[in-house]
Amino acid sequence: MVTPNPAFASELAAYGGENAKMCFQCGTCTASCPSGRETAFRTRKLVRMAQLGLREEMISSEDLWQCTTCYACQERCPRGVQIVDVVIAIRNIAVASGKIYANHKKTGENLLKYGHTVSINDKVKAQRAELGLPEVPPTVLANEKAKADLDIILKATGFDKLIG
């Protein structure tokens, strides 16, 4: 037996996953999902759990993180459910509850540190120079004021605390 939690609908809606309620459980999403072929992740099941508000089960399961956001499911959904948005919404809820994998956290730390999700290193600097490109790409990496502005934004949204 599961105990539905209708209050979850408003939390899901606040994160942009509201139209999960349109799903009538046909399973086209699961049949289209390349992750579902390789893992226990079942898209239809996740959307059903979202409808029932099984918050803890969803945010504690690694199934939530098997989606590559490829949109194969969403393209074929006969009910027009924005399934990727639903997955993103539940992931936001998970992360806000402190559920984040170490390797994902690292990507977030890179954004805070470099303003990019990957680091810069001497090898790529040399390759860039060889190509006649500036060693450091012309982005926040070479622009202190712009990086400071980005930092202000990441602080204003609380991302520094969320990841840090």
Dist CA 69 CA 83 (whole Å): 9
Of 113-132, which residues contact another protein (CB under 8 A)? 115-120, 124, 127-128, 130-132
Burial pattern 27-58, b for ≥16 Cβ within 10 A else e, equals ebbbebbebbeeeebbbbbbbebbbbbbbeeb
Q: Is residue 88 a contact point for another protein (CB under 8 A)?
A: yes
Q: Write out the binding residues for another protein, residues 20-39 only, by CB under 8 A.
A: 34-35, 38-39
Q: Which is nearer to another protein, 79 or 137 (CB)?
A: 137
Orientation of helix 43-52 relative to helix 83-96, angle to 10°: 60
Q: Tell me which residue of 66, 58, 68 sits closest to 93, measured CA to CA.
A: 58
Residues 43-72 that bind another protein (CB under 8 A): 62, 65-72
Select the span of 5-13, 21-29, 43-51, 145-153 touching another protein (CB under 8 A): 145-153
CB atoms within 10 A of CB 131: 7
Q: Rule CB under 8 A: is residue 139 a binding residue for another protein?
A: yes
Site size with another protein, rule: CB under 8 A: 67
CB 29 within 8 A of CB 76: yes
CB of 27 to another protein, least distance (A): 18
Instruction: Give CA–CA dist 111/113, Å, rounded.
Output: 6
Provide the binding-site residues for another protein, judged by CB under 8 A.
15-16, 34-35, 38-39, 62, 65-72, 74-75, 82, 84, 87-89, 91-92, 95-96, 100-101, 103-104, 106-108, 111, 115-120, 124, 127-128, 130-133, 137-140, 142-143, 145-147, 149-150, 152-154, 156-159, 162-163
